[in-house]
Amino acid sequence: MASEKRRRTSTSADTSRHRKQPQLTSAGLRSVGAGAFFRPRDAAELGVSSRELRRLVDTGAVEHVARGLYRLAEAEPTEHYTVAAVCARVPGAIVCLLSALSVHGLGTQLPREVWIAIPHKARAPRLSELPVKVIRFSGAMLRYGVEKISFEGVPSRITSPARTVVDCFRFRRLVGKDVAFEALREALRERKASPDEISRAAEVCRARSLVEPVLEALAR
């Protein structure tokens, strides 16, 4: 009788532990501000320990992408897979310049690196496994024309089409003058940014002398 009671108690405890076992799901990760890509701290917020995370990797439910970065294996990869990975690893970064052009469908650039902007005084991210090009923004450049976006469920930020065009002129030595001119022409032709939006972005970013002459020439 006592033996049967102990078995029932043991079975009940095992069932309870099984029911309480944390799981990583897309919905759960979204609830803590993460996405298909996530960091150990995101998993910890859902009650998933480092040991459980390793077990999930061993079973193939989770992929170890890079140092401090994981991904749900069930998530369908998109064309912005690498951008999502970088944004997950560097929360608060701003997708900019060539990467922003690619996301917005402007020009013909297919960057090998993910171009991101961080504050001037921020510590540069160490991402040896991920191809990243880091740019420094400061002041209004960290806020103006910066939009919220999501890559594979990862909350991210990106410069708007108008702001991206202006940045290409500001950083023309990095991206090339031809890229800047192409981005401006296509943004206007595809109506992804108006002349007024580009002029305003150029004014805020102190790049009117670089952008206005080109805008006026295209308007003739």
Say which residue the tokens 């900019």 belong to.
96
pLDDT value, residue 108:
87
Domain boundaries of the chain, sorted by first residue: 23-76, 81-219
Q: Summarize the chain as % helix, strand, coil (round to 5).
A: 50, 15, 35
Would you place residue 218 in the very low, low, confident or very high pLDDT band (cuts 50, 70, 90)?
A: confident
Q: Report pTM.
A: 0.83
In tens, the pLDDT along 172-200 reads 999 999 999 999 999 999 999 999 999 99
- Mean pLDDT score of the chain, rounded to an integer? 88
Pair type for strands 114-119 and 94-95: antiparallel
Q: Give the C-alpha separation, 201 to 166, whole Å.
A: 7
Instruction: Please tell me the number of Cα atoms within 13 Å of 95 on its side-chain side.
Output: 31
- Minimum mean pLDDT among 23-32, 107-116, 166-175: which range? 23-32
Question: Of all residues in the chain, what percent carry a pLDDT higher than 90?
Answer: 67
pLDDT at residue 212 is higher than 50:
yes
Strand ranges across the sheet with 62-66: 37-38, 69-72, 62-66
Q: Mean pLDDT, to the nearest integer, of 118-135?
A: 90
Which secondary structure element, helix H or strand E, spans residue 58, and what is its range?
A: helix 50-59
Q: Mean pLDDT, to the nearest integer, of 165-171?
A: 97
Q: Give the C-alpha separation, 174 to 179, whole Å.
A: 10
Q: Mean pLDDT, to the nearest integer, of 22-42?
A: 85
In tens, the pLDDT along 16-28 reads 444 444 578 888 8
From residue 56, alpha-carbon distances to 34, 37, 71, 186 in Å are 17, 14, 11, 45
